[in-house]
């Protein structure tokens, strides 16, 4: 029994050491491939490193640095984790450690982290919004719009909030008061931008133009995936991502961010209340997402009527009637998921129950 226990402990220690080594290797690669802009490219497995030719192009042009798909924000989190590990290792003061190498790594990681935070500060618009890419990608106008898609702006604001607030996850990064202040101001602008982007409608459900007299008294709803960087209006992203209300997806992350506020303003409270009420009103009853094998023998998905099924929400609702909307790469909106092609039908999340958790959180906070 004792022998088995010792074996378990040795294995656990070995796995921990391996995990620490892996984080350090990832951090080394992250530092190496950080762009001049201060950001990083998306969808990279840093243990292997990116394609060398592709990386040369990034570093030459600076185009490719983004906050899409958790890029940049996840690299910053990894650098912070690596520094936390080094701090623990230095405190142990083991004669088996190369202290000088650890100190160099810590310096490299913290400097890279600070450049990454500066990148987030540089890419933010004066109105508080964040584009998907910075510098902007050529030929893709939507990438320069205010981007909530895949929680890009929310993730960036969480980093700024935690840097400004001396969060535990960045406690060892050596952030000075000047940067904290910049991040705090940027975070506040970001929250204000979120409030400006929230879609407002009149009594008939017509979307109202920002900052008009009718907009100021309009009914608060939810958010689109992307909003115009000047007018805050909901705008199109990819061909199958039309101007819309989002139910399952981006709206949930935005509401969570707003509910994280320790001392919410009356405007923030109103925004959350309006968003939650819209989600409650647009839940889909007696509908389920079902997987099946189609006539070609391939796995497929369909939405079916199912009495008593848990509440469901669509990813998109049209701006005219607030009804579920599905779209293929042709950019034509449709009312049923069965009306779009196999590739988009199965290659995108068209619905889910995410809003349920957000609504429950809000109700619990207001009990």
Q: CA nearest 119: which of 156, 148, 146, 84?
A: 156
Q: Please give the full DSSP string across 240-270, using - where no structure is assigned.
A: T--S-EESSSHHHHHHHHHHT-SS--HHHHH
Task: Give the percent of the chain with pLDDT over 90.
Answer: 81
Same domain for 186 and 41? yes
4 within domain boundaries: no
Same domain for 113 and 33? yes
- Cβ atoms of residues 172 and 87 within 8 Å: yes
Tokens 């990813």 found at: 315
Considering 171, 193, 215, which residue would you say is the last residue of a domain?
A: 193
Residue 348 three-state SS: coil
Considering 145, 170, 193, which residue would you say is the last residue of a domain?
A: 193
Confidence of residue 342 (pLDDT cuts 50, 70, 90): very high
Confidence of residue 7 (pLDDT cuts 50, 70, 90): very low
Task: Check residue 196 and give its pLDDT.
Answer: 98
107 within domain boundaries: yes
CA distances from 80 to 48, 73, 91, 119 (A): 20, 11, 17, 16
1 within domain boundaries: no
3 within domain boundaries: no
Q: Which whole number is the average pLDDT over 239-267?
A: 97
DSSP tag of 45? -
Domain that holds residue 291: 198-365
The answer to whether the bond into 135 is cis (omega within 30° of 0) is yes
**For residue 15, is pLDDT > 60?**
no
172 within domain boundaries: yes
Give the count of domains, the chain.
2
Tokens 């049923």 found at: 336
* pTM attached to this predicted model: 0.92
Task: Check residue 20 and give its pLDDT.
Answer: 62
Question: How confident is the model over 168-206, as pLDDT tens digits?
Answer: 899 999 999 999 999 999 999 999 999 999 999 999 999
Residue 336 three-state SS: coil
> Which CATH number fits the domain that encloses residue 249?
1.50.10.20
Q: How far apart are CA 333 and CA 330, in angstroms?
A: 9
Burial class (CB in 10 A: 0-12, 13-18, 19+), 115: middle
Question: How confident is the model over 209-247, as pLDDT tens digits?
Answer: 999 999 999 999 999 999 999 999 999 999 999 999 999
Considering 170, 193, 216, which residue would you say is the last residue of a domain?
A: 193
Same domain for 213 and 148? no
Which contacts of 320-325 are long-range, i.e. CB under 8 A and separated by 24 or more positions?
320/205, 321/205, 322/205, 322/245, 322/282, 324/284, 324/351, 325/242, 325/244
């Amino acid at each position: 029994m004792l022998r088995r226990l010792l074996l378990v402990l040795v294995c656990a220690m070995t796995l921990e050491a391996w995990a620490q080594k892996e984080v350090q290797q990832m951090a080394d690669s992250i530092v190496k491939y950080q762009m001049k802009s201060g950001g990083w490219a998306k969808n990279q497995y840093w243990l292997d490193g990116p394609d060398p030719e592709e990386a040369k192009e990034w570093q030459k042009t600076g185009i490719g640095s983004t906050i899409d798909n958790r890029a940049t924000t996840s690299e910053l989190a990894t650098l912070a984790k690596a520094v936390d590990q080094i701090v623990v290792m230095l405190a142990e003061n083991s004669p088996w450690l190369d202290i000088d190498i650890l100190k160099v790594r810590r310096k490299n990681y913290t400097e890279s982290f600070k450049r990454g935070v500066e990148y987030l500060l540089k890419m933010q618009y004066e109105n508080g919004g964040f584009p998907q890419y910075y510098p902007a990608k050529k030929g893709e106008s939507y990438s320069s719009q205010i981007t909530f898609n895949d929680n890009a702006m929310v993730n960036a604001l969480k980093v700024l909030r935690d840097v400004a607030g001396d969060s535990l996850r960045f406690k060892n990064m050596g952030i000075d008061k000047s940067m904290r202040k910049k991040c705090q101001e940027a975070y506040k602008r970001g929250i204000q931008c979120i409030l400006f982007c929230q879609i407002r409608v009149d009594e008939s459900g017509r979307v109202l133009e920002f900052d008009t007299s009718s907009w100021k008294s309009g009914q608060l709803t939810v958010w689109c995936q992307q909003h115009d960087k000047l007018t805050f209006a909901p705008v199109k992203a990819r061909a199958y991502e039309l101007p819309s209300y989002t139910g399952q997806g981006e709206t949930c992350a935005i509401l969570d961010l707003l509910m994280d506020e320790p001392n919410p303003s009356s405007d923030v409270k109103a925004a959350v209340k309006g968003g939650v009420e819209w989600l409650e009103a647009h839940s889909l009853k007696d509908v389920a997402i079902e997987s099946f094998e189609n006539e070609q023998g391939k796995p497929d998905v369909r939405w079916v009527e199912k009495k008593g099924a848990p509440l469901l929400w669509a990813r998109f609702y049209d701006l005219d009637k607030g009804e579920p909307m599905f779209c293929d790469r042709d950019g034509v909106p449709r009312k049923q998921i069965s009306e779009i092609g196999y590739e988009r039908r199965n290659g995108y999340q068209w619905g889910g129950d995410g809003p349920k958790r957000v609504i429950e959180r809000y109700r619990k906070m207001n009990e």
